[in-house]
């Protein structure tokens, strides 16, 4: 690149036309001959600065590409301090089958989804979702008013000025007062206003212009609601019942004919000695109304309840909580007895019409039943596996298969391939030549030794055999331009059928000749080769450690600061060749052989990081040196230009003086010539 420096001659007069018989002066000539050497030196420095700038830009591009390769390979390496180690990624696949032969199973994805933590052991598990966790939902009675009608103008019989509260167990109740201007919608809004405090929400369902229903629900599964209704407002809305007895409303022909009803239920509200005592009742199809009442009383007597819990008047059955009992409710209702007789199955908390009972999730996992959780997100039943339940079907068995996430691994390998190809394209650009063999204008780093070193190291790793595997074995091959191409079919097949082989190609492996010496924690070492550890034991503790490398010379590993020992843990010393190697020893002493190979990802990661790191990488050192050199040359350039301008100013001053003298001499010469001419004429 050619640059041209210049200085200013200011307002000086160009005296090149002023001549005499013995003199000739040119300002342009003086500046050219006297100042130009300064300008030539400045131009040379400017050219060097321009060249350095282009190299710095090229080196920074080199850094960016190496960092991209570092990131790509860190995700494939267990030795990298950053990255995701994608080989630890796990995925879950779901299938389902019927628990009973001949029936149709529910699709597994309908019942649950599963996520797996990185590093979870591969394997299969069976899951049966017997019951979903559910929050309580209660529906009030149909009211003969619209949702927005002011209740004080209706005939609902609610106590204006009265109050009530509903809260989830464990939350803080909020008292709500019924005012004369409130509608069902206003009551729902008041309940919703305290949801953060109570955990209860409300809505109004409009049946038609003159009928609506208030619905309430809890927010947390397996958590019952608690009611406080001193002024019978909730009771009046059909949400709550504090009654100690309830009469049947259905019509039956007589009290002595078999009703063909069957089922079972629990009556709550009875008390024995002040302790709440449930009464379990079973009814069969042969029983009449009188016999159903007798069956209830028999069960109550067996439970220790005093007083009559059931009686029949004509064809009406009345069930009560018995002597000293509290509010009547029912639980575990099975069959059609209560519903057919028109007895509302009031929940144990007094809810009159419980659409959904508060209940926990119930699962059977790997044949183990009775697994109960208060949420549908199950994170602690299977190690490393989270289950999100979405539906229940006790008759469907779901198989959860945990395996390496080969799709993610394959995509990560392809990302590495892209990062390498981008790097190789940069190499090709900087090795390009013209037809005459000279470097192309794009080859800013042509012949650069650092670029050549990195390229050779990366290529050597890329084409090496590691643990009897190469990139070609998994479908990645180099074309004529030294770019990687992928046979995705082969890659997918290798990940599925030869996962351990692919793993051993990319990741480092450490093996020992005895189970008594096991690797501990994550291996971040860069050691490759074989050595022998000879362990000495005293009173059950490691007292000495000798390491023998490839040279066959035993060395005291502790005295030589190669390994340290803490309990039964053996660790490589930072800065030694065994740095970041960690073992646990459980033997009684003796020699164990350790073999380590560096995986392809680890090799490429180490090389790209050593050269591309922007803090202390080799390329950064080159950039820093060039930047320091540029700073010095910029100072030199500025100094030379200042000198040129100073010298020009000096010359201008000198020529200004000479101009005056020449003009004066010229005038004097003219006068003398005229005087001489006059004397000659006279």
> What pLDDT band is residue 476 in, cutting at 50, 70 and 90?
very high
Q: How do residues 307-339 score in pLDDT, each as one tens digit?
A: 889 999 999 999 998 888 888 888 888 899 998
> What pLDDT band is residue 23 in, cutting at 50, 70 and 90?
very low
Coil, strand, or helix at residue 413? helix
DSSP 134: B
Q: What DSSP line would sit under 52-77, residue for residue?
A: HHHHHHHHHHHHHHHHHHHHHHHTT-
String of b and e for 29-40 (b: at least 16 CB within 10 Å)? Answer: ebbeeebeebbe
Per-residue model confidence (pLDDT) at position 25: 41
Q: pLDDT > 90: what percent of the chain?
A: 65
> What pLDDT band is residue 349 in, cutting at 50, 70 and 90?
confident
Q: How do residues 603-655 score in pLDDT, each as one tens digit?
A: 999 999 999 998 888 999 999 999 998 899 888 888 888 887 787 777 777 76
Per-residue model confidence (pLDDT) at position 21: 35
Report, as an integer, the average pLDDT of 208-217: 95
**Burial class for 507, CB neighbours closer than 10 Å (0-12, 13-18, 19+):** buried
More confident residue, 347 or 400: 400
> What pLDDT band is residue 667 in, cutting at 50, 70 and 90?
low
> What pLDDT band is residue 601 in, cutting at 50, 70 and 90?
very high
Question: Domain limits of the chain?
Answer: 19-61+618-681, 74-85+406-432+444-493, 90-133+361-404, 137-236, 245-343, 509-597
Q: Are 456 and 424 in contact (CB under 8 A)?
A: no
Q: How many CB atoms lie within 10 A of CB 256?
A: 11
Residue count (the chain): 682
Report, as an integer, the average pLDDT of 515-535: 87
> What pLDDT band is residue 29 in, cutting at 50, 70 and 90?
low
Report, as an integer, the average pLDDT of 537-550: 93
Nearest CA to 225 among 354, 373, 53, 399?
Answer: 354
Q: How do residues 365-393 score in pLDDT, each as one tens digit?
A: 999 999 999 999 999 999 999 999 999 99
CATH architecture observed for domain 245-343? Sandwich (2.60)
Q: How do residues 94-119 score in pLDDT, each as one tens digit?
A: 999 999 888 899 999 999 999 999 98
DSSP 351: B
Mean pLDDT (the chain, rounded): 88
Q: Are 50 and 1 in contact (CB under 8 A)?
A: yes
pLDDT above 90 (res 273) = no
Q: Are 373 and 109 in contact (CB under 8 A)?
A: no
Q: What is the pTM of this model?
A: 0.71
């Amino acid at each position: 690149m050619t640059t041209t420096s210049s200085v200013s001659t200011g307002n000086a007069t160009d005296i090149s036309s002023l001549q005499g018989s013995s003199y000739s002066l040119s300002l342009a000539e003086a500046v050219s001959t006297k100042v130009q050497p300064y300008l030539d030196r400045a131009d040379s420095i400017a050219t060097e600065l321009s060249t350095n700038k282009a190299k710095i830009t090229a080196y920074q591009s080199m850094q960016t590409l190496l960092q991209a390769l570092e990131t790509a390979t860190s995700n494939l390496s267990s030795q990298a301090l950053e990255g995701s180690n994608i080989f630890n990624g796990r995925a879950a696949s779901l299938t389902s089958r019927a628990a009973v032969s001949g029936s149709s199973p529910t699709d597994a994805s309908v019942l649950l989804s599963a996520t797996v933590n990185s590093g979870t052991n591969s394997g299969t598990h069976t899951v049966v979702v017997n019951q979903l966790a559910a929050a309580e939902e209660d529906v009030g009675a149909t009211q003969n008013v619209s949702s927005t009608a002011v209740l004080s103008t209706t005939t609902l019989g609610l106590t204006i000025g009265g109050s009530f509260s509903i809260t989830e167990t464990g939350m803080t109740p909020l008292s709500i007062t019924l005012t004369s201007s409130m509608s069902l919608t206003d009551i729902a809004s008041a309940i919703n206003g305290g949801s953060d405090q109570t955990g209860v929400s409300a809505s109004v369902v409009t049946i038609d212009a003159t009928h609506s229903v208030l619905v309430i629900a809890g927010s947390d599964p397996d958590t019952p609601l608690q009611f406080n209704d001193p002024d019978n407002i909730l009771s009046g809305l059909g949400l709550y019942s504090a009654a100690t007895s309830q009469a049947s409303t259905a019509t039956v022909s007589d009290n002595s004919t078999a009703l063909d009803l069957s089922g079972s239920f629990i009556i709550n509200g009875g008390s024995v000695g002040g302790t709440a005592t449930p009464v379990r009742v079973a009814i069969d199809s042969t029983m009449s109304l009188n016999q159903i009442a007798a069956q209830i009383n028999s069960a109550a007597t067996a439970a220790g309840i005093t007083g009559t819990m059931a009686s029949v008047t004509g064809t009406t059955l009345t069930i009560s909580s018995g002597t000293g009992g509290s509010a009547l409710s029912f639980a575990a209702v099975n069959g059609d007895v209560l519903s057919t007789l028109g007895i509302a199955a009031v929940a144990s908390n007094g809810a009159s019409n419980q659409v959904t009972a508060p209940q926990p999730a119930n699962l059977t996992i790997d044949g183990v039943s009775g697994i109960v959780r208060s949420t549908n997100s199950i994170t602690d039943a299977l190690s490393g596996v989270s289950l999100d339940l979405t539906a229940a079907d006790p008759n469907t068995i779901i198989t959860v298969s945990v395996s390496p996430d080969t799709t993610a691994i394959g995509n990560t390998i392809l990302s590495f391939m892209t990062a390498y190809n981008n790097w190789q394209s940069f190499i090709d650009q900087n090795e390009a030549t013209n037809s005459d063999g000279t470097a192309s204008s794009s080859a800013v780093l042509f012949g650069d030794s650092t670029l050549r070193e990195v390229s050779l190291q990366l290529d050597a790793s890329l084409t090496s055999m590691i643990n009897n595997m190469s990139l070609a074995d998994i479908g990645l091959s180099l074309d004529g331009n030294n770019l990687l191409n992928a046979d995705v079919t082969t890659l997918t097949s290798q990940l599925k059928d030869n996962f351990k082989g692919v793993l051993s190609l990319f990741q480092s492996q450490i093996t020992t000749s005895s189970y008594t010496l096991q690797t501990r924690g994550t291996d971040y070492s860069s050691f490759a080769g074989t050595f022998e550890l000879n362990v000495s034991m005293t009173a059950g503790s490691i007292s000495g450690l000798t390491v023998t490398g490839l040279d066959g010379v035993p060395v005291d590993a502790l005295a030589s600061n190669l390994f340290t020992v803490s309990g039964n843990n053996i660790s490589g010393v930072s800065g030694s060749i065994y740095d970041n190697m960690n073992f646990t020893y459980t033997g009684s002493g003796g020699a164990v052989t350790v073999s380590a190979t560096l995986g392809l990802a680890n090799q490429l990661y180490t090389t790209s990081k050593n050269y591309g790191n922007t803090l202390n990488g080799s390329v950064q050192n080159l950039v820093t040196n060039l930047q320091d050199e540029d700073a010095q040359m910029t100072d030199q350039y500025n100094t030379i230009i200042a000198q040129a301008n100073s010298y020009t100013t000096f010359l201008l001053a000198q020529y200004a003086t000479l101009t005056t003298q020449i003009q004066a001499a010229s005038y004097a010469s003219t006068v003398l010539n005229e005087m001489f001419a006059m004397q000659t004429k006279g």
